[in-house]
Chains A and B, each alone.
Chain A
């Protein structure tokens, strides 16, 4: 393992990445799919009311994007701090 302070910096940056992605996760699923769904439903999107689309399709695509973005961000971060396997 690298030195203690570098390990802490790595962990801090990991937490920051997680917080950013989870914020998007929350806004899309709980925001667009549940809390603001009625307002978004006023907008039509390829034949779907937009809120309904987010709730039953769009959120899942965003989840996918988030996990893959996290995979790539972390691979880069692991290299940067030389903690990759």
Chain B
């Protein structure tokens, strides 16, 4: 069967499955809409959490990032998994015992303050929108590359699917579609990884394959190091960032992960406190399957990529002999070649191939107006490197580079869509809940009925999908930069506020609000200054990059909160009782319906 037909079959089949589940799991009450009725078994919740968490970034981009930056990719691998240890021990069980619907619910009730609630609502909405725009874009890219539709049409199809099961099913529909999406995405990630590992090293497990010895008698990593150095890159296993930068970046990603509202809210859906701990354990197992495979995919992918583009002798390969994937991705604008030395051969090495941001600017048509020549580019750089390869294509192009069968390529496309849709749905639910529950029910219109609240939730979900779709079609140029903002915000505001709310009976409104504001403002200004206002590298505080500053913001938050609360009166008696109560598992019952 042709690749196109297979791709339609795989993506169409998976969509039919998601819609079927959505119809089966319609939500009838706010409790079902917000927390799936609080009756999700821990294994299912673990799977849903894994799908919720692993976004288009984890599925499509992470292996590409590690592949291109080598050792420094460590911060992402550890940061995005280590946060689950914090979740399991410091947050999930107590928030489940507290038993409400949202993160702002906890912050608002624990700090008996609508100011605190409002700050939490703002953080939640900013974090979630930042995140969701990237997901919609991911769906668009996959559709345009594999189904040959316009990126915008792809975004609209993605919106329609999410609309269907998020608006209809709420958390209940989302949970069970996420379970299905996890199965699709993990299969789609592991099958090509195992193929690759078998092909390159003969090892079935990619995890051990990365340490294998090749026919040349050298290990995979040694080969990578030698190839990298030969082409002018740093050694693959050597870090380029400073130790302190990696340290702060890892910490910001870990604490940010633990503070992300769409992840936290998943732990409200299980029946008991022990199930919350247990589902964190399951979630990390399901996540670790992908995350421990990523370094292997990154390593094999890089060896294959370099050897395919430059040839086994590293002398370059004539453009006419390039495999079809090279031209396909060139058409998608994610690969570009400019023949700097005029030898007609494609050659990849260190340095930006294109001037300015390093991304190619394409002119009209192809060189000499010849359909067999490369696309015209207008901004070649001074350096010797002739090839631009977008990091994001590593996972998607890997099966083609390794010449795997068509059904594997189609499966990867379906997996990428599943990863993007599952995360988008989780985020949209959090946004709609913050609006209908925290803003309408708890702040603006406390006397609405359950039915009206459910209607507001559905309306808010519709509006959120439309906004997310708009950002997917007209991506703000700063999507990549604002992701730093999402983790920074979560680490510097939400995470400390919840931790102190659980582990300190003495923490009061004044302390928490002051802490959140200081964390928020310091982190946001640092990121905005260095990402958007042209702050230069030598002005960095201790050399900490903006992505890692959330850790500093978090420390400031803790310090200020404790100082302010020590100088102000302790919280009321009943709040201290609430804190003592959430520390004891017994009596969690179903999530309170207020």
Interface residues of A (CB under 8 A from B): 1-2, 7, 10-11, 14, 18, 21-22, 25, 29-30, 33-35, 37, 41, 45-49, 52-53, 55-57, 59-61, 63-64, 66-68, 70-71, 74-75, 78, 83-85
- A25 and B66 CA atoms in complex are apart in Å by 22
Interface residues of B (CB under 8 A from A): 66, 71, 73-74, 77-78, 81-82, 84-85, 88-90, 93, 207-208, 210-213, 219-221, 237, 239, 243, 246-247, 250-251, 254, 272-274, 277-278, 280-281, 284-285, 288, 291-292, 295, 580-581, 583-588
User: Which residue of B88, B208, B251, B583 is within 8 Å of A67 (Cβ)?
Assistant: B88
Chain B contacts of A22 at CB under 8 A? 85, 89
Chain B contacts of A60 at CB under 8 A? 77-78, 81, 288, 291-292
CB-based contact A70/B277 at 8 Å: yes
- A78 and B588 CA atoms in complex are apart in Å by 13
CB-based contact A7/B210 at 8 Å: no
CB-based contact B295/A29 at 8 Å: no
Q: Given A47-B220, A67-B281, are A57 and B85 neighbors across the interface (CB < 8 Å)?
A: no
Minimum CB–CB distance for B279 against chain A, Å: 10
Sample of 20 further A-B pairs with CB below 8 A, known A25-B85, A57-B292, A71-B88: A22-B89, A33-B78, A34-B243, A35-B247, A46-B211, A47-B213, A48-B221, A49-B221, A56-B66, A56-B77, A57-B207, A57-B210, A63-B84, A63-B284, A64-B285, A67-B281, A67-B284, A84-B585, A85-B274, A85-B588
CB-based contact A14/B583 at 8 Å: yes
Minimum CB–CB distance for B72 against chain A, Å: 10
Chain B contacts of A35 at CB under 8 A? 243, 247
CB-based contact B586/A70 at 8 Å: no
Q: What 6 A-B pairs come out closest when comparing CB atoms? A: A47-B211, A55-B74, A56-B295, A46-B211, A47-B219, A67-B281
User: Which residue of A46, A47, A55, A67 is within 8 Å of B71 (Cβ)?
Assistant: A55
Minimum CB–CB distance for A27 against chain B, Å: 12
Q: Given A37-B239, A57-B295, A60-B81, are A85 and B586 neighbors across the interface (CB < 8 Å)?
A: yes
- Mostly, the A contact residues are helix
Closest residue of chain B to A69 (Cβ to Cβ) is: B281
Closest residue of chain A to B280 (Cβ to Cβ) is: A67
Minimum CB–CB distance for B211 against chain A, Å: 3
Minimum CB–CB distance for B187 against chain A, Å: 20
10 CB-based A-B contacts, threshold 8 Å: A21-B85, A34-B247, A48-B210, A56-B77, A56-B295, A61-B292, A63-B81, A67-B89, A67-B277, A75-B274
CB-based contact A41/B237 at 8 Å: yes
CB-based contact B207/A84 at 8 Å: no
Q: Given A25-B85, A30-B250, are A64 and B584 neighbors across the interface (CB < 8 Å)?
A: no
- A71 and B285 CA atoms in complex are apart in Å by 14
CB-based contact A66/B85 at 8 Å: yes
Closest residue of chain B to A59 (Cβ to Cβ) is: B78
- A1 and B211 CA atoms in complex are apart in Å by 52
CB-based contact B583/A7 at 8 Å: yes
Chain B contacts of A52 at CB under 8 A? 71, 221, 237
Minimum CB–CB distance for B581 against chain A, Å: 7
- A1 and B579 CA atoms in complex are apart in Å by 13
CB-based contact A21/B89 at 8 Å: yes
Chain A contacts of B285 at CB under 8 A? 64
Chain A contacts of B251 at CB under 8 A? 30
Q: Given A33-B78, A64-B284, A74-B277, are A1 and B584 neighbors across the interface (CB < 8 Å)?
A: yes
Chain A contacts of B84 at CB under 8 A? 63, 67
- A46 and B288 CA atoms in complex are apart in Å by 20
Chain A contacts of B221 at CB under 8 A? 47-49, 52
CB-based contact A47/B292 at 8 Å: no
